[in-house]
């Protein structure tokens, strides 16, 4: 864009939001917090860091260090999944349909990368943990002709909707349960699928219990597909700021390191066999979507 002298104005574009016309024809620099050169540099550094490292890196490693004070919310928000079952709601309310598709394409490919070449039964029995909108129930039925699919879902309202949706699907049932507790299901499974769910169990003991519970439901040689983020360090990334008892933040998502997963898996009788990083464009902040494959010893 041209400036007043016909030359490109370096301030027009992404920095123009820092300036405000006040009706007198003069562009004033913003007042208060934004006016200092230091805060302006900080914002530029933040934008540059976001461009270089990508929004997911910022959310994982920089965001959690920020301090926030948010007023307490009067009533809890309804769970959007209980209103309408859609993949985009399992990610975030109002999430873009295209990014949703992009996310699931990437995770499906990572899962396929794990499974292609493995010897699987022709019509496997699958246990799906944290079924959400039912994406992985459909995936194993459509691609692997799963004969039996049992979903385990924490929220009873979601369970009711899923059971309504799958009423005419033979071999599909969804039970309301917390995977960290005793599971109210019978039999053993060829595949346990736990994608986008284990990091919601923020208490480490309950997370280990959950892993033991799913391992106990696998037949010997059966596989666990765990989807999430498995980096070099264990850290918390999702927080709720409103309504916390001490006015602080409540952890919603805890990402355990790959070595912690391996150790906990080993104690649960699971051998780690494969790790696949989902291929995703760094500038899209889609949910954690890498895959670890374990086998029941
Ligand atoms: C982010 S969604 C992922 C849904 C689905 N697995 C997918 O990838 O599309 C997480 C789901 O797990 C469920 N969930 C969270 N914690 C759980 C637990 N401890 N036991 C069972 N389900 C849980 C949530 O209610 C939600 O439906």
Q: Are residues 276 and 158 in the same domain?
A: yes
Q: Are residues 40 and 180 in the same domain?
A: no
* Residue-level pLDDT at 134: 97
Residue nearest to atom 27 of ligand 1 (CA): 132
Mean pLDDT over residues 269-290, rounded?
A: 92
The domain boundary, picked from 9, 33, 53, lies at 53
**How many structural domains compose the chain?**
2
Residue 6 lies in a domain: no
How many residues does this entry show for the chain? Answer: 297
Residue nearest to atom 18 of ligand 1 (CA): 178
Where is average pLDDT lowest: 85-99, 126-140, 194-208?
A: 85-99
CA of 92 to the centre of ligand 1 (A): 12
* Residue-level pLDDT at 98: 94
> Of the candidates 65, 54, 193, which has an alpha carbon nearest to the alpha carbon of residue 126?
193
* Residue-level pLDDT at 242: 67
Q: Are residues 48 and 90 in the same domain?
A: no
- Burial (CB < 10 A; 0-12, 13-18, 19+), residue 84, is exposed
Residue 66 lies in a domain: no
CATH number, domain with residue 179: 3.40.50.150
How far is CA 76 from its chain centroid? 21
Tokens of 158: 């979601």
The predicted-structure confidence for 213-226, as pLDDT tens digits, reads as follows 999 999 999 999 99
* Residue-level pLDDT at 55: 84
Q: Which residues line ligand 1 (CB under 6 A)?
A: 81, 87, 90, 129-130, 132, 135-136, 152-155, 158, 178-180, 195-197, 200-201
The predicted-structure confidence for 153-175, as pLDDT tens digits, reads as follows 999 999 999 999 999 999 999 99
Whether the pLDDT of residue 74 is over 80: the answer is: no
Q: Which residue has the higher pLDDT, 91 or 31?
A: 91
Q: Are residues 165 and 46 in the same domain?
A: no
CA of 22 to the centre of ligand 1 (A): 49
Whether the pLDDT of residue 62 is over 50: the answer is: yes
Expressed as residue numbers, the domain containing 49 is 17-53
State the pTM of this model.
Answer: 0.80
Q: Are residues 22 and 88 in the same domain?
A: no
Q: Are residues 21 and 93 in the same domain?
A: no
Ligand 1 mutation pick, 81, 100, 130, max ligand atoms within 8 A of CB: 130
Q: Are residues 181 and 219 in the same domain?
A: yes
DSSP state of 29: P
How many C-beta neighbours within 10 Å does residue 242 have? 14
Whether the pLDDT of residue 239 is over 70: the answer is: yes
Q: Are residues 113 and 37 in the same domain?
A: no
How far is the CA of 245 from the CAs of 73, 200, 238, 248, 250, in angstroms?
12, 19, 17, 7, 9
Residue 94 lies in a domain: yes
Q: Are residues 105 and 47 in the same domain?
A: no
* Residue-level pLDDT at 91: 87
pLDDT-derived band at 2 (thresholds 50, 70, 90) equals very low
Whether the pLDDT of residue 13 is over 80: the answer is: no
Answer for the pair 244, 260: CB distance below 8 angstroms, yes or no: no
């Amino acid at each position: 864009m041209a400036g007043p002298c016909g030359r490109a104005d370096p301030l027009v574009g992404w920095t123009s939001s820092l300036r405000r016309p006040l009706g007198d024809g003069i562009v004033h620099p913003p007042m208060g917090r934004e006016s200092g050169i230091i805060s302006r540099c900080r914002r530029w550094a933040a934008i540059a860091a976001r461009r270089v490292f990508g929004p997911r890196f910022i959310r994982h490693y920089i965001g959690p260090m920020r301090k926030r004070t948010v007023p307490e919310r009067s009533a809890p928000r309804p769970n959007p999944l209980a209103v309408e079952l859609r993949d985009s709601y399992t990610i975030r309310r109002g999430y873009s349909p295209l990014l949703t598709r992009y996310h699931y394409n990437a995770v499906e490919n990572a899962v396929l990368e794990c499974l292609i070449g493995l010897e699987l039964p022709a019509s496997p029995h699958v246990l799906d943990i944290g079924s959400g909108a039912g994406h992985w129930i459909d995936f194993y039925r459509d691609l692997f002709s799963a004969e039996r699919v049992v979903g385990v879902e924490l929220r009873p309202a979601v369970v009711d909707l899923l059971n309504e949706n799958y009423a005419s699907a033979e071999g599909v049932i969804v039970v309301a349960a917390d995977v960290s507790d005793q599971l109210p299901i019978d039999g053993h499974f060829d595949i346990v699928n736990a994608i986008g769910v284990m990091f919601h169990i923020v208490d480490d003991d309950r997370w280990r219990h959950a892993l033991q519970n799913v391992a106990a439901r696998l037949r010997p040689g059966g596989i666990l597909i765990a989807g999430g983020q498995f980096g070099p360090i264990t850290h918390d990334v999702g927080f709720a700021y409103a309504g916390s008892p001490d006015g602080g933040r409540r952890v919603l998502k805890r990402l355990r390191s790959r070595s912690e997963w391996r150790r906990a898996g080993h104690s649960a009788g699971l051998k780690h066999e494969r790790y696949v990083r989902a291929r995703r464009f760094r500038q899209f902040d889609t949910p954690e979507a890498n895959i670890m494959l374990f086998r029941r010893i």
